[in-house]
A = this chain, B = another copy of it.
Amino acid sequence: MKALVYRGVGDIRLEEVPRPALQGPEEAIVKVTTSSICGSDLHIVHGHLGVEPGTIVGHEFTGVVEEVGPAVAGVKPGDRVLGAAGVWCGQCPACRSNLSIACKHLGIYGCGPMFGSLQGAQAEYIRVPFANVTLEKIPDGLTEEQVLFVGDILSTAYMGAEGITPGGPGIQPGSTVAVFGAGPVGLCAVAAARLFGPARIISVDMVDYRLEMAARLGADRVINAAREDPAAAITEITGGWGADFVIEAIGSTEAFTVCLSVVAPGGTVSAIGVFQQPVELPIHLLLAKNIGVKMGLANLIHMKRLIGLIQAGKLDLTPIITHRLPLAEVVRGYEIFEKKLDGCVKVLLKP
């Protein structure tokens, strides 16, 4: 089959590789019908995650079940399914405490040995461990594109709006939310934040077409940080109080510092961007603000809830899909995505 293979820093190629086969009774083989390129995939290409050459990249996908092991009861061949970005067992104490992030069997597709050495989804077929818990059937009447982001960036964004740690606290009705970053994750965060009844959502980025998209997805106010000081603007908008809930969806140490400066007393900074280095926390200045700083990777326990909201017409992330390419053009897709060509936000691949 065809697949996008990492060959070394800066070197990815569409190659012919063997089709995957079942390796255990709880697994499924899924024929990928749509996958997409994620910001983390760029980190992989740049060599930041230590992925081994030969790894198929990609962890966002929908498809059709091709084959299942004898212990798979939740899906059967022919079912349209949404895949989670990674896998977890669903039965260990961590999983049962809704902390699948700490599951001993945790893996993320196409992210190398730090994440279970699983082959990725930018391919014609993918092997799915723990298929009973990591695949969700796509309800009739929903398209693959409507649900695709539930498996990764929308779940990440929802978790960010909920406050990351079990019990939150998350966004409260009437609060002011600031979302730093209007890339794919930040745009999902704007849409997710709306579910919690904030009085206003402020989106901050440096790219106008992305801010326009944020406005379309529910941001009440957009700030282009290239032209306007976001800290000053948020202070003014909130009458000096600050933003009750701040989401960092970039992974930038500079933005993180601004987040801390604008968060209101008693508020939360929820970091869902992928950082590459430590940040400084001026705790001596923050003590008198009684705040929380949260950080986390996608918690995928809410996939069904999010699919329900999409089905009910309350969540629609399809506007962020700007490009659809055949898998054959995946390398060009990476270039479009990384350079933000042609107003690119999200690139879909159709094998």
Contacts and interface: CB of A to CB of B under 8 A. Distances in A.
A325 B14 CA distance: 72
Given A102-B266, A173-B196, A289-B101, A295 B283 contact: yes
A10 interface: no
Contacts of A168: 167-169
Considering residues A91, A158, A163, A281, which has the most beta carbons from chain B within 10 angstroms of its beta carbon?
A281
Contacts of A278: 280-285
Contacts of A102: 241, 264-266, 289
A268 interface: yes
Interface centre among A93, A166, A199, by most chain B C-beta atoms within 10 angstroms, is: A199
A287 B281 contact: no
Interface in A250-300: 256, 264-268, 271, 274-297, 299
A328 interface: no
30 contacts: A25-B71, A90-B90, A91-B133, A94-B265, A96-B301, A101-B265, A101-B289, A102-B264, A159-B290, A165-B266, A166-B169, A173-B305, A174-B302, A194-B197, A195-B196, A195-B197, A196-B197, A199-B309, A220-B313, A256-B283, A271-B287, A278-B284, A280-B280, A281-B281, A281-B293, A287-B297, A288-B297, A290-B294, A291-B294, A292-B293
Q: In which size bucket is the chain A interface? A: 35 or more
Given A159-B290, A198-B314, 18 more contacts: A73-B91, A96-B301, A101-B265, A102-B266, A169-B169, A174-B195, A174-B305, A174-B309, A194-B197, A271-B283, A277-B284, A278-B280, A278-B284, A281-B293, A287-B295, A287-B297, A290-B297, A293-B294
B167 A101 contact: no
A195 B290 CA distance: 21
A97 interface: yes
A265 B295 contact: no
A40 to B, nearest CB: 11
Contact of A281 (B98, B99, B279): B279
Contacts of A99: 265-266, 290
Contact of A266 (B74, B97, B287, B306): B97
Contacts of A93: 304
A173 B304 contact: no
A275 B312 CA distance: 33
Interface of A: 25, 71, 73-74, 90-91, 93-94, 96-99, 101-102, 132-133, 158-159, 163-169, 173-174, 194-200, 220, 241, 256, 264-268, 271, 274-297, 299, 301-302, 304-306, 308-309, 311-314
A296 B306 contact: no
A332 to B, nearest CB: 30
A286 B277 CA distance: 10
B292 A294 contact: yes
B299 A290 contact: yes
